[in-house]
A and B are shown apart, each in its own frame.
Chain A
């Protein structure tokens, strides 16, 4: 437990100091996205990594958070701080209700059903033009404010988003090492054994699905208020796959792995600007290579690799 706290402390300090090292608005802006994607990846990882339940529709929950916040504040002039929790409640309720039938499905079927759900949501974003502005998007979403501070610059947004991200990180770390986290991992390893020990697995799966959707919604609301503009294109099937890639690359079930995956997948396209169109090939290739050669993700795979290299080095040294 102490080690977990230490890890979190180091991580938090690095996050807080980062703006001093990387100045420049552009990079700060990218790091804001790393924060949002980290939240989303952690949310999905709770479901996929801990409970072993896949979702290919999380971009939908992310989008719903963004749109509900966006519409309430831009069209109806609500206070963002009220819109955000309301969005979370609505998305959570929806996830909870749909969770019961959807999480009865397993494996491939669950993947397809969540995918279908995500696409339906995406179509609704596009078609309810009066509400969402349709394919051309919704603009004029206000920035968040706190007292006299308006979060309108990259650095301010950085601290806003990462404040929330750190909270989610701590939240997820605590959860993983608790009664509920253990029960979730138990469901992953052997659902029937978990049931026999008294774990209400179907309820638990729905609960974690709901929590995961709420985290995505929160990330969506924050995204809407930092970007001040949302369009359906950000919430399509491709983004669900991107989230999945982050989680798999980082490491299933690992909170800091989710951060690594999110950071890598957010920064990579920025560094590969010239190769803009190649990014989907890179995602596809990375997904396949990771599953084949490093199924534990970077957090487990890289240390393993070093260990192997080191051992080999020693052996050849002896020879």
Chain B
């Protein structure tokens, strides 16, 4: 599904990632973990086209997608969420999700401004689609709230609903549980499993080990920019190198 091949990233002399390779299987939930500064977010930024890597390749379903900008990746079915949720704060919850359906609609500027019958029917379709994703995320009651006023946990759900509206085949989540309380985290875990059951491949960076061990099918461990280990949650938990890396962290 997604293959990371020998990615290296150097920022002005500092090597953030070095020769990282792994593959993500279709329909899996894959967790990328590692101590702070391991390069997890950098890796995400490379996969999602926000940074361009120094060397290495990213393949999506066998095709080289390295260097493609995020908007092109979205059309190829790859979306992401952000650690510090990036909502469209001045728009309502519903409108946020409607923006998610951008690639699934096509009316141009003139057609929209002139309200052609085509644009009107498309608008209907977008509206109905948005309702569906709001329901899925369980935030239908908040549809007309300005998203900037949402509590953090609800904002996270909205960001997920909005990303789902793109109808992705693969979804990358950057620390989805950050800032959530334990109950919200539990619900999030269920939601992510539901997303996988819809046939969407999920890759997540996460610090909440309980969540990662609970929902991930496979785990990749990064440390200091290199891949330290890869395997099932059980294998990772028993890996002595991983344990050492984590214990060595708080010095």
Chain A residue with the shortest CB-CB distance to B119: A178
Q: Which residues of A contact B225 (CB under 8 A)?
A: none
Interface size range of chain B in the complex: 35 or more
Q: Which residues of A contact B119 (CB under 8 A)?
A: 178-179
Chain A residue with the shortest CB-CB distance to B116: A174
Inter-subunit contact B69/A195 (CB<8 Å): yes
Q: Taking chain A's interface residues, is the majority helix, strand, or loop, or is none over half, making it mixed?
A: helix
The number of residues on chain A lying at the interface, defined by a beta carbon within 8 Å of a beta carbon of chain B, is 28
CA distance A238 to B123 in the complex (A): 40
CA distance A181 to B119 in the complex (A): 13
Inter-subunit contact A200/B114 (CB<8 Å): no
**Contacts A196-B48, A197-B166, A198-B103; is A180 near B109 (CB within 8 Å)?**
yes
Contact of A197 among B69, B89, B99, B126 (CB under 8 A): B99
- A211 contacts chain B at the CB level, 8 A cutoff: yes
**1/0 per position for B158-180, CB-CB distance to A under 8 A?**
00001101100000000000000
CA distance A185 to B109 in the complex (A): 14
Count A-B pairs with CB separation below 8 Å.
103
Inter-subunit contact A190/B69 (CB<8 Å): no
Query: Least Cβ distance of A46 to chain B in Å?
Result: 10
Inter-subunit contact B112/A198 (CB<8 Å): no
**1/0 per position for B99-110, CB-CB distance to A under 8 A?**
110110101110
- A139 contacts chain B at the CB level, 8 A cutoff: no
Inter-subunit contact A197/B113 (CB<8 Å): no
Inter-subunit contact A197/B109 (CB<8 Å): no
- B122 contacts chain A at the CB level, 8 A cutoff: yes
Pick the 4 closest A-B CB pairs, nearest first.
A198-B74, A178-B112, A198-B103, A193-B86
| Further contacts, 11 of them, CB under 8 A, given A183-B99, A189-B90 | A174-B114, A175-B113, A178-B113, A179-B102, A182-B95, A182-B98, A189-B89, A196-B73, A197-B166, A198-B102, A199-B99
